[in-house]
Amino acid sequence: MARYRKLGRESSQRQALLRNQVTNLLYHGSIRTTDTKAKEVRKIAESLVALAVKERDNYDEVKVTTRVPRKDAQGNRIKEEVNGKKVTVFDEVEKTIKKDQPSRLHARRQMLRVLYPVTETPKPGTKQKRANTKQINMVDKLFDEIAPKYTNRNGGYTRIIKIGPRKGDGAEQVIIELV
């Protein structure tokens, strides 16, 4: 007996499909798919959320001094002339960063094996498309937004709701969502 459903695809196609659906489930909170795909997505998504809950507070806060370029009112870098060359002026700033413990770093890398990068684009009708796009760090979203909701819960992070057969081929449609 197989440990997983084949979904009528080769292994690389199946893995890409499941990674995409897990990423979209965690980004949007719910997706609509077939029953068999949802059961496979549930396995992966629940393991990722459990990993995030387990390693949520496993980091140290460290103060670091960094050099930041000084900017004027328009946001341009301020430059001064030194030995005939224009050089950017830097200020030293002290920042507090989160430094992962080894187990949290390993968990982060395990999540990155599954999750695709997500690029958030502006709504249609906006003139500048490229300027307003931003990369969403799904691992940070898991640690910072999703995991705190489930700290007191032991498993069962997703719910599958049946919505009936699909019109074209009659496949059982479901909505899988984070509880």
Alpha-helical regions (H) of the chain: 11-28, 35-54, 102-114, 138-141
4 inside domain: no
Same domain, 170 and 114: yes
Supply the pLDDT for residue 121.
83
78 inside domain: yes
What is the span of the domain harbouring residue 70? 59-99
Same domain, 150 and 137: yes
6 inside domain: no
The answer, yes or no, to whether residue 176 has pLDDT greater than 70, is yes
Same domain, 109 and 146: yes
Closest CA to 114 of 10, 179, 3, 17: 17
The answer, yes or no, to whether residue 135 has pLDDT greater than 80, is yes
What whole-number distance in Å separates Cα of residue 128 and Cα of residue 62?
Answer: 37
Same domain, 38 and 81: no
Same domain, 45 and 119: yes
Tokens describing residue 141: 């979203």
2 inside domain: no
Same domain, 86 and 161: no
Same domain, 95 and 108: no
* pLDDT interval class at 128 (50, 70, 90): low
Same domain, 80 and 16: no
* pLDDT interval class at 55 (50, 70, 90): very high
What whole-number distance in Å separates Cα of residue 4 and Cα of residue 42?
Answer: 12
The answer, yes or no, to whether residue 59 has pLDDT greater than 70, is yes
Same domain, 132 and 106: yes
> What digits encode the pLDDT tens for the residues 20-54?
999 999 999 999 999 999 999 999 999 999 999 99
Rounded to two decimals, the pTM is: 0.83
Same domain, 160 and 150: yes
Same domain, 29 and 95: no
> For the packed helices 35-54 and 102-114, what is the interaxial angle rounded to 10 degrees?
160
Three-state DSSP at 24 gives helix
**25-30: Cβ within 8 A, 24+ apart:** 25/158, 25/176, 25/177, 25/178, 26/115, 26/138, 26/141, 26/142, 26/146, 26/178, 27/118, 27/136, 27/138, 27/141, 29/177, 29/178, 30/175, 30/176, 30/177, 30/178
What whole-number distance in Å separates Cα of residue 148 and Cα of residue 52?
Answer: 9
Same domain, 27 and 79: no
CATH number (domain holding residue 49): 3.90.1030.10
Domain count, the chain: 2
